[in-house]
A and B are shown apart, each in its own frame.
Chain A
Amino acid sequence: MKKILLFAKLTMREAVRKKLIWVLGGLTLLVLVLSAIGLNRLVETGMKGQSESDILQATSFILILIMFAYSFVLALSAVFITVPSIAGEMETGTALAILTRPVSRAQFLLGKWVGLVVLTATYVTVASLAEFVVVNLTTGYTPPHPLMFIGFMVAETVVILSLALLVSTRMAPIAGGVIVLGGFMLAWMGGVAVSLGRQFNVDALITGGTITRMLLPTDGMWKGAVYSLEPAALIAMARAQGADGIGNFPFFSLSPPSAAYVAWTGAWIVGILALAIRSFRHREI
């Protein structure tokens, strides 16, 4: 455990020293400021005089869009931080002096994973809370389940980060990054396919989409995050309009992921980590 924490600390220190955190922080601040200005203008001028429920609807939708951008940037960052963490250290030779020490490869890998999870979870929490504060100050709106949102966003990032770590044990950084991002996009498309399938009653789309969502549960977690940002009134209105399929588009979700799906996601993460350890143990250096 001591060695796992040592590698976790090392991973976090590296991210801080390499100024990655600061760049991400700077970009986040920019988004916060821009969204503050944008929302303020919307409420003060664009939608002035409109009903409160219209403003609420617009605000919640804009918040979802902003958070979608966050989730995308987060996935990109997770991939580009994680993939070089193993593959890069093997390529440059930094890992040689480390792995001949009295540490197991599992400790090295798990340490990196813990460090990356703590880093991204911290970022998600701080950035999301800051955005919620901005939205609240400018429009008076607070999303219904902010903590649940953070939980799903963290889960989505951990899923992609674990996959990136697995790929990193075998592939060169750039190739690995492309594969994981490709998978992330496919899973997102899978979510869209399920929605379209439901709307137009196409079983093949539903089946294909569902398989993708099982293979890579990023989009499933994103749907949970979206759901936690939707005001109850909005969901009730959508249900009243009989929306089923359309309500499941990338930026809207009528229901949170089932407990079984969340449990599957947890098992998926554990399984991928076990595979990564196995793969790394057998890796010739």
Chain B
Amino acid sequence: MTLGTSPEIDSAIHTVGLSKAYGAVRAVDDLSMTVPRGEIFGFLGPNGAGKTTSVKLLTGLSNPTSGKAWLLGKPVGDVPTRGRIGYLPELFRYQGWMSAVEVLRLHCELADVPMGRRKTEIEQALVLVGLADRANDKVITFSKGMQQRLGLGVSLLGKPDLVFLDEPTSALDPVGRKEVRDIIVELRSRGITVFLNSHLLSEVQQVCDRVAVIDRGRVVAQGTMAELLGAGEIRIQVTDLDEAGMQAIAPFGQAFRSDEWLTVVGVAPERVPDLIAELVRLGARVHAVERGRQTLEERFIQLLERP
């Protein structure tokens, strides 16, 4: 007998046709996606696209109207699996009457962190999110940004395998945002899967391995960052290239011309020097070569353009 593998079991997150309707409004519509383990997954979409509803469906706070979802190989809602998941909600609020340490201690108990590990985990979390000097202060005295930092610390207790971060930098200043980005990248280096829900496209572009773009409850694009942003597109400023020359470079990829600029789509990175050599051999004069990579923002706006 051989052990079969399936995306339900192997992926950090796998959904099939996940939908959520509120009356006639379909907040999430037929969401099917796979998030491999150990990656940073960016979940993007405009306001009201269904991002937070999707996260609530995945964390079991809300029940789907139809469809299925698995987290870490177990169906959503499996109680023991929740011990391996961290969650920083978009609406982050912690008990104002408690100190930061007390909130963390409570979540250690809730997450079944073994007694012997609690003290170290709490200290590490406080240092990581930069709240070590405010550990014993009441949460009610914290700024919004500090509460969000505390929430991040809470979500990382119990060494989770999967962390949902819903707009984790919404209340932070630019320095705080950079710190959170660094934390996210560090989580990946520890093998933790991060599901990052964010509006900040530059942030997502900097850290994510893979993204899904959702609009009006539906996924409009998903893939690796390279796939989404058209990797392999190259722009060359070239003169003295005739029609025969254009045809000669066709094997490298789809070529378009606009004045002196030649755009070739689908060129593998290792073949770029060959393409340039071929152009020179054909007698063309090459003035400049650049990667024609879209920013995530350009791609995002393009994807959401409505007819």
Contact = CB atoms under 8 A, between A and B. Distances in A.
Interface of A: 3, 6, 10, 14, 17-18, 92-94, 96-104, 282, 284-285
Contact of B95 (A14, A102, A282): A14
Contact of B89 (A3, A10, A96, A103): A96
Contact of A285 (B62, B83, B98, B154): B62
A101 B82 contact: yes
B61 A97 contact: no
B63 interface: yes
Nearest to B84: A102
Given A100-B85, A102-B112, A93 B91 contact: yes
Nearest to B61: A285
B63 A284 contact: yes
Contacts of A94: 93-95
A102 B93 contact: no
Contacts, number: 65
Contact of A18 (B60, B87, B97): B97
Interface size class of B (residues with CB under 8 A): 20 to 34
A87 B204 CA distance: 34
Nearest to B91: A93
Contacts of B109: 6
B234 interface: no
Contacts of B217: none
A282 B63 CA distance: 8
13 contacts: A17-B98, A94-B93, A94-B94, A96-B61, A97-B151, A100-B60, A100-B87, A102-B80, A102-B81, A102-B111, A102-B112, A104-B79, A285-B61
Interface of B: 56, 59-63, 79-83, 85, 87-89, 91-95, 97-98, 106-107, 109-112, 151, 154-155
Contacts of B92: 93, 97
Nearest to B88: A97
A96 B79 contact: no
Contacts of B85: 100
Contacts of B107: 97, 101
A115 to B, nearest CB: 14
Contacts of B83: 101-102
A184 B89 CA distance: 37
A97 B87 contact: yes
Most central of A3, A17, A92, A97 by chain B CB within 10 Å: A97
A92 B81 CA distance: 26
Most central of B60, B92, B93, B154 by chain A CB within 10 Å: B93
A103 B106 CA distance: 13
Contact of B79 (A17, A92, A102): A102
B85 to A, nearest CB: 7
A102 B82 CA distance: 5
Contacts of B89: 93, 96-97
Contacts of B62: 284-285
